[in-house]
Amino acid sequence: MFAPGEGPAADPAGSRYERRIRSFQPRRSRVTLGQEQALRRLWPAWGLDVDGSRVLDPAELFGGLPVVLEIGFGMGEATAQMAAADPGTGILAVDVHTPGQGNLLALAEANGLDNIRVANGDAVILLQEMLPPDSLHGLRVYFPDPWPKKRHHKRRLIQPEFLTLAAARLRPGALLHCATDWEPYAEQMLEVLSAHPSFVNTAADGGFAPRPGFRPLTRFEGQGLDKGHPVHDLLFRRR
């Protein structure tokens, strides 16, 4: 769809990491004209492909701002709201959904948000290959794919191995914030986070946390609430 450098690559990492189990399904669904135009116009300045070929300097990407990584942002409405509410923090937002990438860039431009960068590709490769140790001030994982079938549970993102990788990229004191409306996944998240030596629960009772004011109520969350799905937030600090 896009020429090199003009927009996100269809498969930025190529076949170098194909053997790793993916926690997502690549989606290149229909892109609207407005999203395509935003990608063509803004990707060279505000977008990057997760190809695993270089190490980034997150602070340099945002002119010295502290940087939070957001994994999976849907159509980007909540990301744009958080960026607008906290202009002193850079949000590095990674996803594989091309329409969402274009929509988030369009929202950033329309609202004058220069504290958003959009990454295209696998968040694990981004963390493992392209971000240096102790470089992130926070990590947000909102409504990841719950992979509800038991045989697919190994694809869930929040696993001990992922947490070890995340801990290596988070600064001490950084906040790891997860949210899900899938209760069995919420319980698994709480179990593996509570057991991990690099994280400590901010909830005094050791359980789930109230939704913090900085996380907007998303359209996806509203749909879950309409279906009677309770939403659980987990807020853990990097030791």
In angstroms, the CA 148 to CA 129 distance is 29
- Catalytic entry in 145, 181, 226, 233: 145
Asked if 223 contacts 174 with a C-beta cutoff of 8 angstroms, the reply is: no
In angstroms, the CA 179 to CA 200 distance is 16
In angstroms, the CA 233 to CA 211 distance is 6
The beta strands (E) that lie in the chain are given as 47-49, 67-71, 90-95, 116-120, 136-142, 170-180, 199-201, 232-238
Q: How far is CA 29 from the centre of its chain?
A: 19
Structure tokens at 118: 């959009």
Asked if 189 contacts 163 with a C-beta cutoff of 8 angstroms, the reply is: no
In angstroms, the CA 3 to CA 147 distance is 34
In angstroms, the CA 131 to CA 119 distance is 12
In angstroms, the CA 138 to CA 174 distance is 5
134 is catalytic: no
In angstroms, the CA 20 to CA 49 distance is 18
In angstroms, the CA 193 to CA 70 distance is 18
Active site residues: 145
